[in-house]
Amino acid sequence: MKKLIIGLAIVIVGGGLFIFLQKGGGSGANETASTPALQNSATGQVVEIDMTAKQWEFIPSVITVNQGDLVRITATSIDVPHGFALPEFNVSEYLPPGQPVTFEFVADKKGTFTFFCNVACGQGHSQMRGTLIVQ
């Protein structure tokens, strides 16, 4: 009977030690795995968008990205001078006709934001806008 109890105790202690060691190894592996993930979320994915600006719309007019993405837009006006303004992300660009303009920003906050033309471009100027969705 005594031997059985001692045997049981060894199994319990041994098993506990085994689980402890396994957990220790596991958390170590998780730490190494989470470090690059953390770096990824800090740098963000790069989202490249080719945009056309014309009287009186942006194409595409809706952009959806993920929070933390680096959004790089190359916008080209195909008629008259336009602008691209996205105040929440400190973006204000002048788009001369026929000349691609590349600019970028980090989508560091979630929400729905309006970008718009801020260069007087004719009758429909005030309706020339689009939507940025950061999810």
Binding status of residue 121 toward Cu ion by CB under 5 A: yes
The site map against Cu ion for 49-68 (x = CB under 5 A) is --------------------
Which residues face 50 on adjacent strands? Answer: 74
Binding status of residue 132 toward Cu ion by CB under 5 A: no
Cis peptide before 36 (omega within 30 of 0): no
Which residues face 131 on adjacent strands? Answer: 62, 114
Binding status of residue 101 toward Cu ion by CB under 5 A: no
Secondary structure percentages of the chain, helix, strand, coil, to 5: 35, 40, 25
Structure tokens at 14: 């041994």
Binding status of residue 117 toward Cu ion by CB under 5 A: yes
Spatial separation of the C-alpha atoms in residues 22 and 58, rounded to whole Å: 56
Nearer to Cu ion, 27 or 123 (CB): 123
Binding status of residue 125 toward Cu ion by CB under 5 A: yes
Binding status of residue 75 toward Cu ion by CB under 5 A: no
- Smallest gap from Cβ 77 to Cu ion, in A, equals 10
- Smallest gap from Cβ 38 to Cu ion, in A, equals 41
